[in-house]
Structure 1
Amino acid sequence: MTRAKRTPPIIEAPPAVTGLAGVILLAHVLRVLAPASWQGFILPMGVLQTDRFWASMGIGAEGALPYNSPLEALIPLLASALLHDGWAGAILNAALIVIFGRLVHASLSIGRKSGAIPFLIVFAVSVVGGSLFHLITQYPAGTGLIGASGGASGLFAAWVLIQEGRGGRILTKRFLTVFLFFTLVNLALWLMGPSLLGAGISWQAHLGGFIAGAVAFQFFRSRRPVSRF
């Protein structure tokens, strides 16, 4: 009796990775299809509004409207990753999550223990890190922030560390070279974004996410047991 051949999946990535990418796309679908009355609730809760955040901290620009509560001010630090201004951004970020996330998830898995939770934490820390850096550099008032690119940047940073092997560290020459190149590319896109892409980008969210993701990944990887022969 011959065994039927298993058809390989279209996307060879663990459920946590494909699930996260799917949530990013689903969130955009829901936002696009949501009635106008819902948009008035979704956008204020999800968009990270710089002036309102700093006003909530009591150090914002004069006349800025603060959030209704500290929790409402903190939610967009992470929830902003679920909002995108168009399909191109949502699809690109979902694709980058799958491309870099597969190896990050595998690297954080130990034996039969899944790396799903550490992977999701690295992504979340990257998003929050990007949001915080955006806020700091935009103080006391500036542009709003949406998108999962900070999280994708953090996964890219983790991927760079993985390429260096077990001994890869944040302050190595190779990692710092990649970071410098990543910074220059983002600054170029920031300058040319409105004319080239038709929209602006937050280089702050990308760089903040990159650094935060590298630190979070290095933390989890340092806790892995070292194999002994």
Structure 2
Amino acid sequence: MTRATRTPPIIEAPPAVTGLAGVILVAHVVRVFAPASWQGFILPLGVLQPDRFWASIGLGADGTLAYSSPVEAFVPLLASALLHDGWAGAILNAALIVIFGRLVHASLSIGRKSGAIPFLIVFAVSVVGGALAHLVTQYPDGSGLIGASGGASGLFAAWVLIQEGRGGRILTKRFLTVFLFFAAVNLALWLMGPSLIGARISWQAHLGGFLAGAAAFQFFRSRRPVSRF
């Protein structure tokens, strides 16, 4: 008697990872095909606008239209990850979330305890860290920010720490070397972005997300019990 073989899934990643990537893609579909009346609601809610944010806390330029409430001002710090200006950006970020996210999820799982919640927190912290870095460097009236690349950068940083093993730390020589290389690549893309892809990336969000994600991942990993023999 032959035993039926199970066909492996195309994407071997836990539901939290594929679900997050799927949300990124679905959100872009909604934005692209939503009626004009929806666009007027979605974009102001999701686009992080430095001039309006700083005006909301009394630090912006005179005459700038501030957000109407603290909630409206702080929601884009996270919601901006759900908006992308094109299919290429949405698909790339979703793919990076799966590539790095499944390893981060596995590293944060303990026995039968799923790493879904820590994984999602690491991603969220990375997004917010990238958004804050963008805000600080775009004071008082810089360009708006959308995209999940800050979150993807944070997952990449966590992956770098995973490659170093249990002893991987943010201040190690290898991690700092990768960070400097990552920064150099982002600065180059920032300079060449308008001619290569027709847009300028936020290197600040990428670097901020990278460092925030590394810190969040290291925090969760440090709380894991150490095996004793």
Q: If the length of structure 2 is used for normalisation, what is the TM-score?
A: 0.99
Aligned residue in 1 for 2:176: 176
**Counterpart amino acid of residue 172 in structure 2:** T
Aligned length: 229
* Structure 2 counterpart of 1:23: 23
2:160 equivalent to 1:160: yes
Question: Which stretches of structure 1, 4 residues or more, deviate above 3 A after TM superposition?
Answer: none
- Structure-2 separation of matches of 1:65 and 1:87: 30
Is it true that 1:118 corresponds to 2:118 in the alignment?
yes
Once residues 104 and 163 of structure 1 are traced to their aligned partners in structure 2, the CA distance between those partners, rounded to angstroms, is 11
Instruction: Tell me by how many angstroms 1:3 deviates.
Output: 2.8
- What residue number does 2:86 align with? 86
1:41 positional shift: 0.5
Q: State the match for 2:8 in structure 1.
A: 8
Give the structure 1 partner of residue 142 of structure 2: 142
Paired position in structure 1 for 2:210 = 210
Q: The residue matched to 1:64 in structure 2 has which SS?
A: coil
Deviation at 1:63, TM superposition (A): 1.1
- Give the deviation of 1:4 after TM superposition: 1.4
Offset at residue 44 of structure 1 (A): 0.2
Distance apart, 1:164 and its partner CA: 0.2
Corresponding residue of 1:220 = 220
Q: Which runs of 5+ in 2 are unaligned?
A: none
Please name the residue that 1:59 is paired with.
59
Residue 52 of structure 1 deviates from its aligned partner by 0.2
Structure-2 residue corresponding to 1:43: 43
Structure-2 separation of matches of 1:113 and 1:66: 44
Question: d(CA) in 2 for partners of 1:21 and 1:219?
Answer: 24
**Quick one: distance in 1 between partners of 2:13 and 2:169?**
25
Distance in 2 between residues matched to 1:218 and 1:63, nearest whole Å = 43
RMSD: 0.6
1:123-174 superposed Cα distances (whole Å, 9 cap, x missing partner): 0000000000000000011000000000000000000000000000000000
Q: State the shift of 1:2 in Å.
A: 3.4
Q: Does 1:194 align with 2:194?
A: yes
Q: Which runs of 5+ in 1 are unaligned?
A: none
Name the SS for the 1:194 alignment partner.
helix
SS of residue in 2 equivalent to 1:61: coil
CA distance in 1, matches of 2:210, 2:18: 21
Following TM superposition, by how much is the alpha carbon of 1:49 offset from its aligned partner in structure 2, in angstroms?
A: 0.4
Deviations 1:66-107 (A, max 9, x none): 001001000000000000000000000000000000100000
CA distance in 2, matches of 1:201, 1:61: 24
